[in-house]
Amino acid sequence: MANESKTGFDVDAYLTNAGHGRKIAQLNSSQAFFSQGDPADCVFYLHKGRVKISVLSSSGKEATIRLVSASNFFGEKAMAAEPGLRVTTATAVTASTALRIERPEFLRVMREEQSFSSLFSSFLLDCNLRTQADLVDQLFNRAEKRLARILLLLAEYSQPGEENALIQPVSQEALASMIGSTRPRVNAFLSRFRKLGFIEYNSRIRVHKSLLSVFLRD
């Protein structure tokens, strides 16, 4: 993340602390930061925890479209020209803390502070690229390969030399909705990955980098 700008604006401090037009929200697991149909009047910045972004169809079927990790924004629809109502629900997967920034305050800091505007623009670009990659994944990859990709993304390998990572709790139902499959198939894939030594799986999943071989093979 960017730090203090040339104007003296400290992005880290701004996103860490409550202040005018922003406050800290602390939720327990399964509580919602916002729900589908709520007014899109604020943006959140996640400090810790994991948040599930999902959508509910008219027939009542839920699909998880994104998992948010710390140091990321969510609820960005509030920044649309005419934000209207939320089209998704944001639910805490684990105990989570986030900064809630009201739309007018977010617009002000975007307009006045280039360092903040650049940070948010980079986030939106990353989201767009991830959405395109997800679409290609759904169109051209089989379900087993899509699951391997999701697990690798959740592991978020960021430390050089790190060979495995314990991911945040996520249900098989959530994984199934993210790859467009069913819970029994996800269970079968996870069992196969475990037998091959790609993951360790008890109540939580530990992902080994060797799982890359599933995603990269033809």
pLDDT, position 175:
87
Q: What is the DSSP-derived secondary structure letter of residue 88?
A: S
CATH of 141-216, one of 3.40.50.300, 1.10.10.10, 3.40.1440.60, 2.40.50.1070: 1.10.10.10
Fold for the domain defined by 11-137: Jelly Rolls (2.60.120)
Residue in the structure block whose two tokens are 């699909």: 63
Predicted local confidence at residue 43, as pLDDT: 98
Of the candidates 130, 153, 152, 169, the residue with the CA atom closest to the CA atom of residue 208: 152
Q: How far apart are CA 209 and CA 152, in angstroms?
A: 8
Residue by residue, DSSP assigns 155-196 as HT--STT--EEEPPP--HHHHHHHHT--HHHHHHHHHHHHHT
Per-residue pLDDT of the chain (218 residues; tens, 9 = 90+): 445 555 689 999 999 999 999 999 999 988 999 999 999 999 999 999 989 888 888 888 777 778 888 999 999 999 999 999 999 999 998 899 999 999 999 999 999 999 999 999 999 988 877 776 666 666 566 888 888 888 887 887 544 455 678 887 888 888 888 888 889 999 999 999 999 898 998 878 989 888 877 766 55
Residue ranges of domains in the chain: 11-137, 141-216
DSSP code of residue 209? G
Looking at residue 84, what is its pLDDT?
93
Residues belonging to the chain: 218
